[in-house]
Amino acid sequence: GENVEQHPSTLSVQEGDSAVIKCTYSDSASNYFPWYKQELGKRPQLIIDIRSNVGEKKDQRIAVTLNKTAKHFSLHITETQPEDSAVYFCAASKGRGYSTLTFGKGTMLLVSP
């Protein structure tokens, strides 16, 4: 089955710096890659996603890049703010019409003022 590796497990940055989280996946048939943000005690919330027919997607301070050949994708957060502090999960999915998500183990991002 699919295996998703995520690095780093923890990331500390100063406010205003950029943060990058990287994930690799094993199943070349995977074609959908969402990123979720989970604050302590809260539900995972989708922040951005990308499909395999696109190489990059941006939404304000957040961007995701996908390299299908290397089977890795990355989350980029620019101009980080303290409210960006949370655990971030990458995931991979495949299939038509319905599918399941395989998650990485998460990255705890801490943004210091």
Partner 1 sequence: ETGVTQSPTHLIKTRGQQVTLRCSSQSGHNTVSWYQQALGQGPQFIFQYYREEENGRGNFPPRFSGLQFPNYSSELNVNALELDDSALYLCASSPVASGGPETQYFGPGTRLLVL
Which positions touch partner 1 (CB under 8 A)? Answer: 6, 31-32, 34, 36, 42-46, 49, 51, 89, 91, 93-106
What's the min distance (Å) between Cβ of 113 and partner 1?
25
What's the min distance (Å) between Cβ of 79 and partner 1?
25
Do 87 and 70 meet the contact criterion of CB atoms below 8 Å apart? Answer: no
For the four alpha carbons of 51, 57, 60 and 61, in that order, the dihedral sign comes to positive
Say which amino acid occupies 63.
A
Q: Which is nearer to partner 1, 19 or 87 (CB)?
A: 87
How many angstroms separate the CA atoms of 73 and 91, rounded? 10
How many angstroms separate the CA atoms of 23 and 11, rounded? 14
How many angstroms separate the CA atoms of 76 and 22, rounded? 9
Q: Which is nearer to partner 1, 44 or 109 (CB)?
A: 44
Q: Which is nearer to partner 1, 69 or 98 (CB)?
A: 98
What's the min distance (Å) between Cβ of 95 and partner 1?
6
Q: Which is nearer to partner 1, 42 or 58 (CB)?
A: 42
Residue 107: which of 84, 82, 83, 79 has the closest Cα?
Answer: 84
What's the min distance (Å) between Cβ of 45 and partner 1?
7
